[in-house]
């Protein structure tokens, strides 16, 4: 009897182990397989710059090109590299099958299609052409004042724009150095690009500090930690993330001027894709971009422009605040400490308005809507600044117009919309009926800078509200039936949708 009872007990124990071991393997958290999050180890090593102070003792530089000639004597490959660099060409070229969206274009699209800062339209100052001298004051070159500029001459490259370490170098119209600049003194103190070098143009795009991007402004030259932990606490340079890749090519793309996501910067260039000790947070990283939680607001120090109404320009109004009204540009709205808009984003644009595209003026036209949705496995919920504007269009042809604003005969001189629009259309070969109006447009600017301290990152209940009240994210607009805490994750939402569709067929 005892022997039989013993066998029975052993049998029960074996049976329990058969069921218990798989349960334990599932229930007990596994050791983390992610890489250790050690971003400092991933930072590039910048070369120590050569002291140039003794190289130009007898120099007598009269022009910026004189400085460049001297630079090219030792760095000829740098000049050649810059000739193909987007900072100099302001151009990207795409084959027709690479251009996103459907385009009903009055001009027809060439193959290749040209995009880039010099060829696309925005809803700030609108176009570079035919307003070159004003826009090209931020060009990494000298003398771009019209369409006859020679992009093949390396002596036109402005080395000092990126390598001046005095902080005294200033560019003026057509990218020429200001007369007050001591070119010899500046050339003696060149070095690696600083935040000020990059920021001189990128912080001040659109006509002033903080105007365009929302997450780039002069506060980042020497930011406190609460504005940006990378550039503040860690004193990181722009080139720590926008890394040098050879031939004067740096990582980075913006959907404001590009149609693709080639050579993009990602948080995972330095950080693990599962950097949190709490695995519940790590589960979010396939759906939510790092920036969504870690940049809870942009324009944290300086106000950024969020609305521009060109239709109000030309009036003599008793308003002395240039952040509210300028006769040459119209009315504005600026905001500080702005909560971003959120959308699915896979790094590309869903569509891009190209000069000459017809559109429906009864609706707000999105110039560069981000690509991605809840069904796209490569898309994540991402923060954006959306800049809204009203800008001129042709009522007959239903195309956006490209006003001539700067220089003799431009709108900023004559305040004659008809002439400015006619001249601008002629510059691009666009038809112009003479019957113009102002259409509503929107432009998306991804938010990737101004990363807040970890203590200020979004908390769970800012998106997942316990009482069902509206949180930071509009779940239904993002394609969910409601808060995923209640209705389930993206995977569960898609499985439910697929099951419903299958049942209805």
Q: How deeply is 22 buried, as exposed, middle or buried, from its count of CB atoms within 10 A (0-12, 13-18, 19+)?
A: exposed
Residue 482: C-alpha distances to residues 376, 479, 497 (Å): 18, 8, 13
Taking the C-alpha atoms of residue 443 and residue 425, their distance in angstroms, rounded to an integer, is 22
Largest CA distance in the chain: 113
Q: Is the pLDDT of residue 299 over 50?
A: yes
Q: pLDDT, tens digit, for every residue of 200-244?
A: 999 999 999 999 999 999 999 999 999 999 999 999 999 999 999
Q: Is the pLDDT of residue 478 over 70?
A: yes
Which is higher by pLDDT, 329 or 26? 329
Q: Is the pLDDT of residue 433 over 60?
A: yes
pLDDT for the residue 206: 94
Cα torsion through 102, 377, 370, 255, rounded to 10: -100
Q: What is the pTM of this model?
A: 0.90
Q: pLDDT, tens digit, for every residue of 394-427?
A: 999 999 999 999 999 999 999 999 999 999 999 9
CB 285 within 8 A of CB 274: yes
Q: How deeply is 148 buried, as exposed, middle or buried, from its count of CB atoms within 10 A (0-12, 13-18, 19+)?
A: exposed
Tokens 């030259």, residue located = 221
Residue 242: C-alpha distances to residues 21, 224, 232, 259 (Å): 49, 21, 17, 18
Q: Is the pLDDT of residue 431 over 60?
A: yes
Which of 365, 444, 443, 451 lies closest to 400 in space, CA to CA?
365
Q: pLDDT, tens digit, for every residue of 359-375?
A: 999 999 999 999 999 99
Share of the chain above pLDDT 90, in %: 83
Query: What backbone torsions phi and psi does residue 446 show, to the nearest 5 degrees?
Result: -60, 140
**Which sequence spans correspond to the domains of the chain?**
52-82+125-204, 207-265+279-458
Which of 442, 478, 443 lies closest to 289 in space, CA to CA?
478
Mean pLDDT of the region 33-58:
84
User: Is the bond preceding residue 112 a cis peptide, omega within 30 degrees?
Assistant: yes
CB 158 within 8 A of CB 64: yes
Q: pLDDT, tens digit, for every residue of 190-202?
A: 999 999 999 999 9
CB 370 within 8 A of CB 256: no
Q: Which two tokens stand for residue 407?
A: 């220089």
Helices (H), 28-85: 64-74, 76-82
Lowest-pLDDT range of 18-32, 77-91, 312-326, 434-448: 18-32
Q: pLDDT, tens digit, for every residue of 18-43?
A: 334 333 333 333 334 445 678 888 88
Taking the C-alpha atoms of residue 382 and residue 291, their distance in angstroms, rounded to an integer, is 7
Collapsed DSSP state (helix, strand, coil) of residue 295: coil
């Amino acid at each position: 009897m005892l022997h039989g009872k013993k066998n029975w007990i052993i049998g029960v124990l074996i049976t329990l182990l058969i069921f218990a071991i798989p349960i334990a393997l599932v229930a007990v958290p596994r050791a983390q397989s992610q890489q250790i999050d050690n971003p400092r180890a991933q930072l590039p090593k910048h070369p120590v710059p050569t002291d140039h102070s003794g190289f130009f003792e007898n120099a007598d530089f009269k022009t910026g090109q004189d400085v460049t000639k001297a630079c090219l004597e030792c760095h000829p490959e740098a000049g050649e590299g810059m000739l193909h660099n987007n900072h100099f060409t302001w151009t990207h070229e795409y084959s027709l099958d690479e251009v996103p969206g459907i385009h009903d274009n009055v001009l027809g699209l060439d193959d290749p299609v040209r995009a880039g800062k010099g060829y696309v339209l925005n809803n700030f100052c609108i176009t570079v052409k035919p307003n070159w001298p004003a826009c090209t004051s931020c060009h990494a070159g000298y003398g771009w004042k019209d369409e006859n500029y020679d992009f093949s001459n390396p002596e036109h490259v402005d080395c000092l724009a990126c390598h001046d370490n005095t902080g005294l170098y200033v560019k003026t119209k057509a990218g020429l150095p200001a007369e007050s600049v001591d070119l010899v003194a500046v050339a003696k103190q060149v070095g690696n690009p600083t935040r000020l070098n990059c920021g001189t143009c990128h912080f001040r795009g659109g006509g002033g500090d903080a105007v365009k991007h929302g997450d780039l402004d002069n506060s980042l030259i020497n930011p406190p930690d609460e504005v940006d932990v990378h550039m503040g606490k860690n004193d990181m340079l722009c080139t720590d993330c926008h890394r040098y890749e050879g031939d004067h090519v740096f990582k980075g793309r913006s959907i404001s001027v590009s149609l693709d996501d080639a050579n993009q910067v990602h948080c995972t260039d330095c950080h693990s894709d599962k950097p949190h000790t709490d695995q519940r947070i790590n589960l979010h990283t396939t759906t939510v971009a790092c920036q969504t939680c870690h940049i809870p607001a942009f324009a944290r120090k300086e106000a950024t422009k969020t609305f521009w109404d060109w239709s109000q320009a030309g009036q003599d109004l008793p308003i002395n605040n240039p952040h509210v009204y300028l006769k040459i540009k119209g009315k504005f709205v600026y905001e500080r400490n702005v909560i971003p808009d959120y959308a699915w984003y896979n790094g590309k644009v869903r569509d891009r308005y190209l000069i000459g595209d017809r559109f429906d003026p009864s609706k707000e036209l999105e110039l560069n809507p981000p690509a991605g949705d809840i069904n796209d496995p490569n898309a994540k919920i991402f923060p954006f600044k959306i800049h809204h504007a009203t800008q001129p269009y042709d009522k007959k042809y239903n195309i956006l117009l490209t006003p001539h604003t700067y220089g003799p005969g431009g709108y900023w001189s004559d305040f004659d919309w008809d002439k400015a629009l006619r001249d601008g259309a002629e510059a691009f070969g666009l038809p112009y009926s003479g019957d113009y109006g102002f259409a509503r447009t929107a432009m998306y600017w991804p938010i990737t800078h101004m990363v807040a301290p970890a203590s200020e990152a979004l908390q769970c209940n800012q998106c997942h509200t316990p009482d069902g009240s509206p949180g930071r994210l509009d779940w239904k607009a993002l394609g969910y039936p409601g808060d995923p805490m209640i209705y389930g994750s993206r995977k569960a939402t898609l499985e439910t949708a697929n099951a419903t569709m299958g049942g209805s067929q």
